[in-house]
Structure 1
Amino acid sequence: MELIPQLFSFSSLTVIGSQLIFALLLDRILGEPARFHPLIGFGNLANRIEAKFNPQQNVPEDDLPHVGKARFKGIIGWLILVVPLPIALWGLNYCAVNFAAANDSSLVYWLIGILNSFVLYLAIGLQSLTQHAMQIYHPLKHGDMDQARHFTGYMVSRDTQSLTPKDMRRAAVESVLENGHDGVIASLFYFVIGGAPLVVLHRLINTLDAMWGYKTPRFLYFGWWAARADDHLGWASTYCTSLLYVLAAPKTHQSKHLAFEHISRAWRQAKDYKSKNGGRCMATGASALGFTLGGTAHYQGNIIRSPLLGNGNVVALGDIPRSVALVKRSAWLFAFAVLSIGLTANAIF
């Protein structure tokens, strides 16, 4: 087993594919940890850092010295939160691999593999995403609007008090398709490239973007780098997710012949969305499943108008579980594809 997987080492791909499947199985069986979830602790620490580093939460745009200071403090806070844990994990792996090599210990290699798979399990949230989405779906199905609004607030940052059933269907599906990348497929993707340290790095960056990456007076400058860092790191994995959504979509007559049209349309639509990465995943998933997203939403008192994403009818109630199923198929498709490539190449070469 290697510390940083080599993409052109087929034996490594076999091991990595097995780790992906093991982590997905752990998520399926165990679900999200009920207590002491690392990301919850990280979020609490991020709130403390932000309270200390961001006391002036409304900086005028023309006050350039304070704008620069707010951005600088945001970068420092970001570095404090994001950098230490991936480096520590990388160092632990490095020392363990060298120890195993020096002592020719297969047991240590196995332990490293299990540890890294467990880290990946903690990073992915497929079962949690499913539970949150269905907590919206079931109340909507039975006409319990108050309960549906309550659980919609668990998944999105938009104001939920006055959401209509259509708004909640859209919010749930948008969150599933976007978080299918952020909380599931991106972690699998970066595990293949750089192992558990890169997975943790992406997950922390993505979490800080979700907390600080808003264009509000409070975070416009302080959260500037948190938003940009997530955009840069998540760029490649969103293209992977977009392709997987098309490949994993139910093979209707239309989707068989128009797969590339789904992709090209979605990528064009994403250019006008507030987040190109998120828009790319949402637009492709919606197009592949045959419905549309977009419209107006209220975020912290502001009205945000989103462009049309996808193609087909307006999102319906049944599109919530269909979107969840799409994310699940995409994750398993990716894991088995990595394993199959490794096994096939080993058999041939």
Structure 2
Amino acid sequence: MNDLISELSKPQLFAIYSVIIVVCVEKWLVLPEKMHPLTFARLIAQGMAYKVSSRQSGNALQQSIAGTLAPLVLLNPFIVVLALLMYLAEYPIFFESLLLFVALRFKPIISLCQKIHKALSAEKKALARQQLQNMVLRQTASLSALGMTKACIESLLLRFSHQYCTVIIVYLVGGGIAALTYRLLFEFSHSWHCRLPRFEYFGKPVRRLMGCIQYLPARFASLSFMLVQSTGAAWRVFVQKSVLKQTRFFILNGQGAALGVQLGGPVYYAQDKLRLAKCGGSRLVRTDDISRTVLVIQRAQWVFLMVCIIVSLLLNIGS
């Protein structure tokens, strides 16, 4: 028994303990949107982007260079200050946990999806569109109830991978500063999304970086999701080599197949129509599929956390 306690008391395991605590706290303690540091960072990113970016012919290289330098200009002073505070902190693990709490912020997405489901169930389409616009970049003004349902589910699945699972994995690998840096880059890539005409070139550098970071966590997120909502079609999609290159399609195809609903299809960004491949299952989405997806995601969160705990114990106990 003493040996087990000694093994579990290793400092190397403090990171996974802090993840468990922060995940539980984040579900019950939600900071208001206006008070959250990520909101401030998002506003700064939008302000910088609109000053230095424009969609003019012949300036693609200039915009790409600006899009590469912008995150460095915004993040470098911030990272230096955090590193100094971490160095001076008497209990660094507490500071690391605080940074993870700021970076995680997934509960409001779940709550927003539940509000959208409630509005659509009550046939309040205008309210549903207004709420949906807070979590997607696509144009929502012309979306039908089916289109809003599909957009809500797609956004939830993608955010579970990028905004929840990736943040935790980056934290376990690189600590609190790395996790918060990733989350800020995620917010930048969302604000400067290259599918928006204004940021076609400006947003590409940070978008490519996000693609590299999110590649492996997306696979673990999909695995956790499929362990909760398992179907033969989903597992066949999971092992297909042809879908491993494009992370977005991989997530929607596999998890859509697990849910048995069809995702993807044409999307409008501003006035530009983008034809995305249809994927997932064969059945068209229904309003109730939002609540079903939320339930599966909530269970998959715990499955993913258990996988992280098991891997951390295997890597550290006995070493």
Same fold, TM exceeding 0.5?
Answer: yes
1:141 CA drift (Å): 0.8
Q: Which amino acid aligns with 1:334?
A: F
Partner of 2:66: 73
Relative to structure 1, is the Cα distance of residues 340 and 58 closer, same or farther in structure 2, using a 3 angstrom cutoff?
closer
Give, in angstroms, the shift of residue 335 of structure 1: 2.1
Aligned-partner Cα distance in 1 for 2:12–2:289: 34
CA contact (8 A) 2:234 2:255 kept: no
CA–CA distance in structure 2, aligned partners of residues 58 and 258 of structure 1 = 42
Gaps of at least 5 residues in structure 2 are 1-7
What is residue 21 of structure 2 aligned with on the other side? 22
Shift of 1:115: 2.2
Amino acid paired to 2:34: R
Check whether the contact 1:82–1:201 (CA below 8 A) recurs between aligned residues: yes
Give the residue type in structure 1 aligned to 2:45: A
Q: Partner residue of 2:176? A: 196
Displacement of 1:153 in angstroms is 1.2
Offset at 1:211?
0.9
Q: What CA distance in whole angstroms lies between the structure 2 residues aligned with 1:168 and 1:17?
A: 37
CA distance in 1, matches of 2:317, 2:149: 47
Check if 1:152 corresponds to 2:132. yes
Could you give the per-residue CA deviations for residues 108-158 of structure 1, whole angstroms, max 9, x where no partner exists?
Answer: 33xx22222222121112210111101110011111111111211112111
| Structure 2 CA distance for partners of 1:313 and 1:269, relative to 1, 3 Å | farther
2:133 counterpart SS class: helix
Q: Aligned partners of 1:286 and 1:121: how far apart in 2?
A: 29
How far off is 1:189 after superposition? Answer: 1.1
Q: Deviations over 1:157-213 (max 9, x none)?
A: 111112111101100000100011122111111111111111112111111111112
Structure 1 residue ranges without an equivalent (≥5): 1-8, 97-107
Moved more, 128-137 or 333-342: 333-342
Q: Which has the higher contact order (CA 8 A, sep 6+)?
A: 1
Which residue matches 2:75? 82
After TM superposition, the structure 1 = structure 2 runs for residues 64-143 of structure 1, keeping only pairs within 5 Å, are 66-96=59-89, 108-109=90-91, 112-143=92-123
2:55 maps to a residue whose letter is N
2:142 to 162, 179, 182: 162
Q: Residue 162 of structure 2 aligns with which residue?
A: 182
When the two structures are superposed, what TM-score results if normalisation uses the length of structure 1? 0.81
1:203 partner amino acid: R
Q: Which amino acid aligns with 1:261?
A: R
Identity of aligned residues (%): 23
Partner of 2:3 in structure 1? none
Cα shift at 1:73: 1.8
CA distance in 1, matches of 2:105, 2:254: 21
1:45-81: CA deviation from partner (whole Å, max 9, x where unpaired) = 1122223323xx1221xx2xx3222222222212112
1:17 Cα deviation (Å)? 2.1
- 1:29-48, aligned counterparts within 5 Å? 29-48=28-47
- How many Å apart are 1:83 and its aligned residue? 3.2
Contact 1:262 1:288 in 2 (8 A): no
Aligned residues: 312
Q: What CA distance in whole angstroms lies between the structure 2 residues aligned with 1:243 and 1:172?
A: 21
Match of 2:276 in 1: 306
- In the TM superposition, residue 39 of structure 1 has moved relative to its aligned partner by 1.0
Distance in 2 (alpha carbons) for counterparts of 1:22 and 1:59:
48
1:263 pairs with 2:260: no
Distance 2:215 2:317 in 1: 33
Could you tell me which amino acid in structure 2 is paired with residue 311 of structure 1?
G
Residue 282 of structure 1 contacts residue 309 of structure 1 at CA under 8 Å; is this kept in 2?
yes
Q: Please state how far the C-alpha of 1:342 moved relative to its aligned partner.
A: 4.6
Change (3 A) 1:217 1:145: closer
Partners of 1:287 and 1:87 in 2: CA distance: 44
Contact 1:10 1:345 in 2 (8 A): no
Q: Could you say if the C-alpha distance between residues 144 and 215 of structure 1 is closer, same or farther in structure 2, counting changes exceeding 3 Å?
A: closer
In structure 1, how many angstroms separate the alpha carbons of the residues matched to 2:142 and 2:52? Answer: 34
Instruction: Tell me the TM-score normalized by structure 2.
Output: 0.88
- Structure 1 residue 95, shift from structure 2 partner: 4.2
The residue aligned with 1:295 is 265
